[in-house]
Amino acid sequence: LEFTRQLAMQHQSLAQSNQELEKSNQQLDAKVQHLSILTQKYEHELALFKQHKFGSKNEHLTAKQIHLWDEAVEEDIAAVDLELERL
């Protein structure tokens, strides 16, 4: 009888641990997906920066476009800083 009770307690403990691990796994999967999306976004932005820097000289930007570009870069940097603080 005691052995059966111990087995039941171990089973309950293992079931609880399993639930906790599944929850943790789901959270990690969500984080991986989020970071994957961020990586894709930053790779795209890097490609745009490279295109801007090394692109054809016929593709000059107007002063207004440059100003908007600079604002976007500042916003992106702030967003990255905020994301890093959250991690």
Q: What is the pLDDT of residues 8-48, one digit of tens each?
A: 999 999 999 999 999 999 999 999 999 999 889 888 888 88
Is 78 found in the same domain as 38? no
In this structure, the answer to whether residues 50 and 61 fall within a common structural domain is: no
Q: Are residues 44 and 63 in the same domain?
A: no
* Among 18-27, 56-65, 68-77, the range of highest mean pLDDT: 18-27
Least confident of 29-33, 57-61, 66-70, 74-78: 57-61
**Assessment of whether the complete model's pTM goes beyond 0.95:** no
Q: Which domain holds residue 66?
A: 57-87
9 with 51, same domain: the answer is yes
Tell me the three state secondary structure of residue 60: coil
Q: Do 36 and 1 belong together in one domain?
A: yes
Please indicate, yes or no, whether residues 45 and 61 belong to a single structural domain of this protein: no
CB crowding 57-77: b at 16 or more within 10 Å, else e: eeeeeeeeeeeeeeeeeeeee
Domain count, the chain: 2
| CB-based contact 53:73 (threshold 8 Å) | no
Looking at the fold, whether 12 and 38 belong to one and the same domain comes out as: yes
Cα–Cα distance for residue pair 22/19, rounded to 1 Å? 5
